[in-house]
Structure 1
Amino acid sequence: MIPVLLMSAFLPVYSLAGSVLGCPAGCTCNDDTFVVQCEHSKLDVIPITLNPAIQRLVLRNNKIKTVDAAFQFYRDLQYVDLSSNHLVNIPTKSFFHQEKLQELHLNKNKLSSVNNKTFQGLKSLTVLNLRENFLEELPKGIFAILPKLEELNLGQNRISKIDPLAFDGLRCLRVLFLDDNLLKSVPTSSFFVMGSLAELHVGLNAFDGLPDDAFQGLSRLSVLDLSSGGISNLSDYAFRGLSGLRSLNLGDNRLHQVPTNQLGVLPRLEELGIGQNEFAVLSRGAFRGLSNLRRLDVTGARNLERVERGAFAENLNLETIVLVSNKKLRSLDEGSLEGLPNLRHLVLKENSLESLSETVASWGELKTLELTDNPIRCDCQLLWLLKLTKQRNLTNVYCAKPNNLRDQQLKGLTAVDLGCSEGEPNRQTILIIFGVGAVILLAILGYFLFRYRLKVRDALKDYKFNKRAISRKEHEYQKTFSEDEYTLRGAGQLPIKHIPVTEL
């Protein structure tokens, strides 16, 4: 009782004398902004001599082992950071007087358990960070006394068990981190009480696969992170019910092919990360049904060898394609990136591309093109790219081959350096187009001749018959009247031949 009375006696003096009297060594105390920062100050307890009107208290990177009664003196706190300390437990009602507290950061400590009375009194809390502790399970109603909580971070713990009603009462929760724990399956049964959840991070767990309706109850989910989960199998309706999902990260799993059908139930998906998986090809229509997709990231797919023409045929809203660090990707099929009117950013860094055809994509609208760290062969086939880089500063390309151009920047070379004349590619293109056109024309003509060969033969036969008939008639006509006879008859000089009566 005596220490409390002494403290209350000092408080008025503190407010008059300023922060110097009560500010511990190694701390910064500002009575104008009501902010106290004590980082790396070697504190082992929470100081009780601070200005009682402080609103923001940062005690990061100290040696504090418990939360004691000191907090009862600071009832205007809105932000508390106790991360990177040695907290082992939090006594009941430690925050009972912090009704104005909005953010509490307890990450990077040694907490092994919390209960439904640990956070009693935190009626205004919106952010609770318990990341990087030793929590093993989440019992029923553990957060029920936090009605305004919007963000809960439980990542990097040892959680293996979650009660179906562990999140009961969190009707305002928008963001939940459960990543990097020991969960063996998606805790579907605990999602029903979080109808407002918009963002879920549940990667880096021991999931083998996702069953049907794995995220049932999360109809408002917008962001889903399943990266590094060891997922090798997705059931056909794993994402059913997530019609509003905008962002999905499936990177760093064990998928052997792009889950086209499973992704097709996500019509509003705008961002997809699917790198570091086992598939070898992005086949035609791989992302069928994702008509609103704007950004695709395929980074570190160690077996990816080919991107087929038409892989993005139905993704006309794509703005950014990231194909990075795919070491077996040596070329792109012609036209594999064409027909994308909104494509603005194309990142092709750190692959094994030796060349790039002009017909791969439509380059006119690109704002960003990254080709660095590829073993590019600088020859006449890249004259179009040389012109493009000089017209628009899109990328820095360094030659890997041939040896005489190694490590030289493509932009600084000429057509002669690439081993071709200025007009050679155009002439070659014209000749190819002309040759292909001629072949197509001959093929069409041959097809029609073969299909209508009988009619053609009959037509030729009729033509020859009519011609012979006409010739015969002309011959008979000429035989009936000789030229002299015709002349005499015309002059009326030929005698009239009388026919005997007997002949009649």
Structure 2
Amino acid sequence: MNCSGSELNALPKMTPNNVNKIILSNNKISGVVNRMFNSLSELVVLDLSHNVITSIDAHGLYQLTQLKELDLTRCGLSEAQLETHVFAWAGSIQSLVLDENRFERVPTSLLNTLNQLKNVSLSRNPMDRLQTSSFAHFAELEAIYLNEMPNLKVVEKFAFVNLPKLKTLEIRDNPRLIHLGGKIFGHNVMNIQQLFFQNNQIEIIPEELSKNLPYLIPILIGDPKCQFPKAIVGQSFSNITEKELEATCPSAWWEKCPGDCICYRWQDSNFLPMKLVDCRGKKIVDFVPYGIPEEVTGLDLSMNGIQHFKDNAFVHLKSLQYLNLNDNDLREIPVSTIDNLAKLKILLMNRNAIAKIETNSFKNLAVEKIEICFGHNDISKIERASFISLNQLQIIKLCNNKIDFFPTNSIQSTPVLGSLDLSNNKLTNITSDLFDRANMITSLNMAGNQIDCCEMLWAFDRMTNTRQTECGAPFTNVGKNVDQITEDTACVPTTTTTTTTTTTTTTTTTKKRTTTTTTESTELTTTFLTFNSTDDPDSGCKIKLSVLLAFFALIINNL
């Protein structure tokens, strides 16, 4: 019997008593009142989806002893709107659909009378986590569907226990799901054949997930792109050959590994063969796991909430080349802890709470790459000589911080520094002597800063990609991409003065500073472009770039 979309607010009065299927979807039914289906004892399938049901009375499903399938999709239901024993009179239900309602947790107390339940769907509900033992009362369950939940972030340890008949579990298309507790299955969950995890934000499928699942056929995670290791980044997982994986992925487990960490040998095309200890997300707070072998060359301590280290934490790791401290709560760079890592090449401290980089923060290191970007890093101050005498340093990434001034003397004696990333900070300019301090720099990323384009005129000849950099000043160019600015139009003049002299003294005044320059020359003709400072002293620059460069050239030639 199909009464879908009939604008009904109750069960039709002429409903036959022997009907076994009723579709009442897309109507105006606002509640399931006591004994509403009292005369339909042979009903097997009931579809109440897409109604605005504000309540279901305790006896609302009375006499539905043969009911097998109940669909309550998109009815606006929450746990508070339902009586505790609302399903007690329909204990024969085997398939229950509660999609797109307002359940913030699995409503265990409401469902615990459904002893024959085989399939349950709670997709598109506002749950933020699946708690331990969420389905422990449903020993007959064969399939669980938990898809498309916008707030779901965590599946807790042992969320699925006492489910000996469970064969299918779908947890897919949850855009905020990032974490699976390693042991989400209890010991008596052994018959799972299909797991669906595609289109989540899960970075790691724990090894424990598939343990004790002898009948598991596929773990379906879609066809994701490889993000690690670096040699195969961007390739579809289905297109990777076994030979490629053998060459780039962990190849041999160590017999003993400290704590809950994972130890393996790793061959990557960009690094030396590495003996890596992977302790990601192991709740390490302020210590290095006991028992790490001295010969280890890579250590990953990311995602642990670490706030500080003891001074001697790494004292025995003399061979360490790779240290990953991403996604912790470090307030400062652990100088006294890392200063003995003479062989360290790569140091990662992204997404911490570091506020400043002090002088000599990286002394005694042979480091080649330093990253302190993103997230909760709030670096606003870089002290002089922060990166001094790092003879092997090639890459510095300080993106997504609050840096408003970058002292060029912070990178003294970095002869091979080639890449400096200062994107998404609060910088307005970088002085030209940066390239004098580190003359090997070939890549300077200033994207996402509000730069004063006139203060940066010196850099035009060196810029190759300016599409993501906007002018923050002067007023006439605010918001423009740098690639829209030319040498002739960057600073529009209001007056022009031409002077021919053997001795020229120029005084330039802005709101920011006063500069006096005296130049001597035997034959010098210059054109100065100035602005009326009484109207808007910051409305433009003082000197046209081509003339400015010629002016400085004459100064140098006469020194």
Give the TM-score, by structure 2 length. 0.42
Structure 1 or 2: larger strand share? 2
Give the TM-score, by structure 1 length. 0.46
Structure 1 or 2: larger helix share? 1
